[in-house]
């Protein structure tokens, strides 16, 4: 199958790109992935219980928001394929790619697919620690984004915990002080890796307690499928002391892993594996390949910023494809003037006349 534009990924960035590309009559094909990164199609928002900071919705379930985006993409004309792209070749155009058989991440289908342009929107996955109770209370007290979830009612005026020792942990901890009764920051080592200024802000904040040489062991809470987190068992890894502290929320700030292994060695990435884009654009180092969303954004990582870069990627892909079409037209015109055997028979001055349209022939 050959497509003018292929979108890999189905989060806010991918679907926004699909909506814009469809409205531009690019007939995009989206590969939404079959449990790519171990997450359902729709990305990280499908694991988020309630979203309160996406414009247009006072409050909406993360999975519902992604269902709405998917429906809009299809309504606009996007072809959505529920399979995972397993290999790409960006060394020449048209770009080549292969997909995994449904539910099989070890093998590739033999068929080679091609695309004139590509939007990478494969996202990133928050690192987890695998604590006891983590899966049970994920979305019901456990999160990897304080800015996304910290304002939810279940966290307001409650004791909260942040795990991490870098600048992200400091920023998340300070953000949560606006909502929480108390914020406990667990730092595995005996020092903060954050900048001195950030570390000082955290240590001096009256609502914050920093516990060094400490780590989480278990998350506890209400029983039942919708039970909420109530406490956390922690351990001092220097003294061996184990204790249970009240905690209605736990926020991981231990980093994210961008889903870029598929493109390693083919587009430029930074030291953490995020795809590099030209500042102010969604353009990668490969002409015709664009990146949007968390796959290229290690700073904001918000649904709305992902959607914004998805829009940018689609508009830039449309412009790039038009430029390629103009170049092809110029080459064809040159062939016509030369009387080449491969000329398509179009007369340039007639074809470029908007009143006569594309059907005008010699």
- Number of neighbouring beta carbons within 10 Å of residue 223: 7
CB 208, CB 185: distance < 8 Å: yes
Q: Which of 104, 116, 149, 294 is catalytic?
A: 149
- Rounded Cα gap, residues 10 and 111, in angstroms: 22
**How many Å apart are CA 2 and CA 150, to the nearest integer?**
44
Residue 280 DSSP code: T
149 tagged catalytic: yes
Catalytic site residue from 145, 294, 297, 333: 145
Residues 353, 100: Cα–Cα separation, whole Å: 46
Angle separating helix axes 12-23 and 303-338, nearest 10 degrees: 40
Grouping H, G, I as helix, E, B as strand and the rest as coil, residue 62 is: helix
**Which residue in the list 89, 104, 148, 346 is annotated as catalytic?**
148
Residue 76 a catalytic site member:
no
311 among known catalytic residues: no
Residue 336 neighbours by CB distance under 10 Å: 18
- Residue 345 to residues 240, 289, 329, 337, 348, Cα–Cα distance (Å): 83, 32, 12, 10, 9
Distance, in Å, from the CA atom of 254 to the CA atom of 80, rounded to the nearest integer, reads 33
Catalytic residue ranges: 145, 148-149
């Amino acid at each position: 199958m050959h497509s003018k534009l292929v979108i890999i990924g189905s989060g806010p960035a991918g679907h926004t790109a699909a909506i814009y590309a469809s409205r531009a009559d690019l007939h995009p094909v989206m590969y939404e992935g079959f449990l790519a990164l171990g997450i359902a199609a729709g990305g990280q928002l499908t694991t988020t219980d309630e979203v309160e900071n996406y414009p247009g919705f006072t409050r909406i379930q993360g999975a519902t928001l992604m269902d709405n985006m998917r429906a809009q993409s299809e309504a606009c004309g996007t072809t959505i394929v529920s399979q995972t792209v397993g290999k790409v070749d960006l060394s020449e155009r048209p770009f080549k790619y292969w997909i995994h058989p449904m539910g099989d991440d070890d093998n590739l289908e033999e068929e080679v697919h091609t695309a004139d342009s590509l939007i990478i929107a494969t996202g990133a996955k928050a690192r987890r620690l695998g604590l006891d109770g983590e899966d049970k209370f994920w979305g019901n007290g456990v999160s990897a984004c304080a800015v996304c979830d910290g304002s939810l009612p279940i966290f307001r005026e409650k004791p909260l915990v942040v795990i991490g020792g870098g600048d992200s942990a400091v920023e998340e901890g300070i953000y949560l002080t606006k909502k929480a009764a108390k914020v406990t920051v667990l730092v595995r080592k005996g020092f903060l890796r954050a900048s001195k200024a950030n570390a000082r802000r955290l240590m001096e904040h009256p609502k914050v307690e920093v516990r060094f040489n400490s780590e989480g062991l278990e998350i506890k809470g209400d029983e039942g499928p919708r039970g909420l987190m109530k406490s956390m068992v922690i351990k001092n890894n220097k003294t061996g002391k184990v204790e249970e502290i009240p905690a209605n929320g736990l926020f991981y700030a231990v980093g994210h892993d961008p889903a870029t292994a598929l493109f390693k060695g083919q587009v430029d990435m930074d030291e953490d594996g995020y795809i590099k884009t030209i500042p102010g654009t969604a353009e990668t180092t490969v002409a015709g390949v664009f990146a949007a969303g968390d796959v290229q954004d290690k700073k904001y990582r918000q649904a709305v910023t992902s959607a914004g870069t998805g829009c940018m990627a689609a508009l830039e892909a449309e412009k790039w494809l038009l430029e390629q079409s103009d170049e092809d037209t110029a080459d064809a015109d040159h062939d016509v003037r030369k009387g080449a055997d491969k000329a398509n028979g179009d007369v340039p001055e007639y074809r470029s006349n908007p009143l006569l349209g594309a059907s005008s022939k010699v």
